[in-house]
Structure 1
Amino acid sequence: MKEYNIGEKIKELRLSLEISQNDLAKQICEPQDLEKIEKGDEYPTLPQLHTLAKRLGIPITYFFETNWNQNVDYVNSVKTLMRNYVRDREYKALYEIVKREEEMPIFEGPDNIQFFLWHKAICYYHINKDKDRAIELLYKALETTNREQTDLREEEIQILHSIAAIHYDNNELEKAHDIFMKALTSLEKMYKIKNRKVYLRILYGLTQVLLKLKKYDECLKFSNLGIGICISEDNLYLFGEFYYQAGNALFKMGEVTEGYEYLSKSTSIFNVQKNDKMEEIVKEETFKLLNTSSSS
């Protein structure tokens, strides 16, 4: 592995992202072992390398490339790290990256400008609680690459998802519904969807809105569509959530037996995924729904 300078690449990327040895080494190896790896005195195991790559926001193949475009690689690494912070809801850490990197020449170009506007908006909403400014920035991000908002790309549809999610979070359900439907229609026009998780996220957001709007038939229809996609693609992403939404809708429609079956499947899926928080939420909701249906 020495000819690939793996240790040097780990150190270079770690320093560029301002991650300490202690933080990078957590649950992978001891900090002193990471120091030896970075010096080239030791080599990481393949499982360690996989985890290091994930934490640094890069594909594992990065370590084995002898010729690469450092600028492009750095941009992609920063973007991946930012998306990971969104996933983990580490909004303050995300904002620090936005402030530090957005004005750097390396991030010029409409796609990168759009990406940073999108994530700045996420920070404004979750840290500053400024809904209006966040939505303003999100639409500005869309206009950076698509002023007419026609023939949307997946990246632009993800920004629509963020807008719809903010409206949903503020109980502006009709607005959220219209934007989710626009996003879904745009996705379904595509010849091929690169990131299927985007499609599933849009579907799930739509089911949440429909349930609150008491459009239970539609909620059930889109929940079952999500379940079908998860099964056909052997994909557990949002699988339990779709069963949960469908079960809720069925209970509201008076279909108690079938609704209970869906919620039981949801509980089982979360149990397999070791998602204790969601498993407990579904159990509590099932108990409430059963009590409500028995007393009515």
Structure 2
Amino acid sequence: MKEYNIGEKIKELRLSLEISQNDLAKQICEPQDLEKIEKGDEYPTLPQLHTLAKRLGIPITYFFETNWNQNIDYINSVKTLMRNYVRDREYKALYEIVKREEESELFQDKLNKQFLMWHEGICIHYLFNNKNEALTLLHEAINLTNRDLRDLKEEEIKIYYSIGVIHYDNKEYDKSLDIHKQILSFLQDKYEIQDRKLYLRVLFALAQTLIKLKDFENALRYSNLGIGVCISEDMLYLFGEFYYQSGLSLVKLDSLGDGMELLNKSMNIFSAQRNRKMEELVKEDTLKLLEPTDY
């Protein structure tokens, strides 16, 4: 952001409005941090910049108005922040950004508007538990660029994946399964997918849904495929989860020894990744699987 002279613009506006550094920085950052921002020694985060712009009475785009490339940089920064909020399940913060950017001229073209609608649908599902409104919004987002669900592009596939997740969360497992099978078919027909994690997420969703439907043989098939992809592409993403799914499926298929071996592998992976939550989950499930049952 330094080349955009954001710090200089903040200082110019602050002085013209006769606002002290202490007053402008209040509940945003420390005054000494604002001083560094104005000097160009530090860069404000996007949430800080939003609040500063609001307090100074100008649109945030003011800081990026000098040329088209800077607008693109701002859009990409917003999208990155939104993706991070989804990853961290910070849906309230995500929703605030969506509603704020809906008013921005920079997000009025089809693709950027689609991105906002997609993430608004995610927020409506997780924040307000409104399945129908969320699904309607996600379908409308896809319809902006593809009305017949044929030859879906990568971004459209991701939105369709979110639709499948919402059906899964609402225990509509058959609908979720159908959607993720369609997505897998779309992905297998495409030679180049930029986000390789998307393929793994779909395999995980298929195995997860099939476990819920007690179709352990097919769940095992997809989770084993996920393990193979992780190994061949040297990826740790969902690696432990796939071993967990395969181990659980094998135990349910009465292959207790093989299943427990894979469950232990999944625990070791989660331990190495310092994923304590998943490590404890597998431990608890393993103990339950070993408990004697009455028939």
Per the normalisation by structure 2, the TM-score is 0.81
8 Å contact kept, 2:135–2:163 = yes
Q: Could you tell me whether the CA contact under 8 Å between 2:6 and 2:38 is conserved in 1?
A: no
- Structure-2 residue corresponding to 1:5: 2
Tell me the residue number matched to 1:124. Answer: 124
Q: Which secondary structure does the structure 1 equivalent of 2:282 belong to?
A: helix
Deviation at 1:239, TM superposition (A): 0.6
C-alpha spacing 1:120/1:23, structure 2 compared with 1 (3 Å): same
Instruction: Tell whether the 8 Å contact from 1:124 to 1:134 is kept in structure 2 after alignment.
Output: yes
Q: Name 1:175's counterpart in structure 2.
A: 175
Secondary structure of the residue that 1:149 maps to in structure 2? coil
Partner of 1:59: none
Change (3 A) 1:73 1:258: same
Q: Establish whether residue 135 from structure 1 lines up as the match of residue 135 from structure 2.
A: yes
Summarize the Cα distance change of 1:111–1:102 in structure 2 as closer, same or farther, 3 Å threshold: same
Please list every run of 5 or more consecutive structure 2 residues that lacks an aligned counterpart in the other structure. 11-23, 50-66
1:44-193 equivalence runs, <5 A: 69-193=69-193
Distance change in 2, residues 1:170/1:42 (3 Å): closer
| Distance in 2 of aligned mates of 1:278 and 1:178 | 27
**CA distance 1:32–1:225, change in 2 (3 Å):** farther
Bigger Rg, which one: 2
Match of 1:275 in 2: 275
The Cα shift of 1:40 comes to 3.9
State the distance in 2 between where 1:135 and 1:36 align: 46
RMSD: 2.9
Residue type at the aligned position of 2:2? N
Shift of 1:234: 1.4
Pairwise CA distance, 1:33: 6.5
Which residue type is aligned with residue 111 of structure 2?
D
Distance 1:137 1:270, change over 3 A: same
Cα distance change, pair 271–11 in 1 and its aligned pair in 2 (3 A): farther
CA shift, 1:9, in A, is: 5.3
How many angstroms does 1:34 deviate by? 4.0
Matched residue SS, 2:144: helix
Change (3 A) 1:256 1:12: farther
Report the equivalent of 2:37.
38
What is the rounded CA distance, in whole Å, between the counterparts of 2:42 and 2:212 in structure 1? 53
1:65-123 per-position Cα deviation (integer Å, ceiling 9, x unaligned):
xx971111111111111111111111111111111111321112111111111111111
For residues 237 and 42 of structure 2, what CA distance do their matches in structure 1 show?
A: 34
Structure 1, unmatched stretches of 5+, are 14-19, 26-30, 57-66
Question: Once the 2 structures are TM-superposed, how far is the Cα of residue 10 of structure 1 from its aligned partner?
Answer: 7.8
C-alpha distance 103-39 of structure 1, shift in aligned 2 (>3 A): closer
Residues 1:218 and 2:215 aligned together: no
User: Residue 7 of structure 1 contacts residue 38 of structure 1 at CA under 8 Å; is this kept in 2?
Assistant: no
Helix, strand or coil at the partner of 1:147: coil
User: Structure 1, residues 200-239: CA drift from partner, whole Å, max 9, x if none?
Assistant: 1111111100111111111111101111111111111111
| Residue-pair matches, total | 265
Is the contact made by 1:164 and 1:179 (CA closer than 8 Å) also made in structure 2? yes
Q: 1:23 to 1:241 in 2, by over 3 A?
A: farther
> Cα offset for 1:6?
6.4
> Once the 2 structures are TM-superposed, how far is the Cα of residue 38 of structure 1 from its aligned partner?
2.1
Q: Which residue of 1 aligns with 2:199?
A: 199
Contact 1:124 1:130 in 2 (8 A): yes
Normalised TM-score (structure 1): 0.81
Give 1:41 deviation, angstroms: 7.3
Q: In the aligned structure 2, how far is the partner of 1:10 from the partner of 1:240?
A: 45
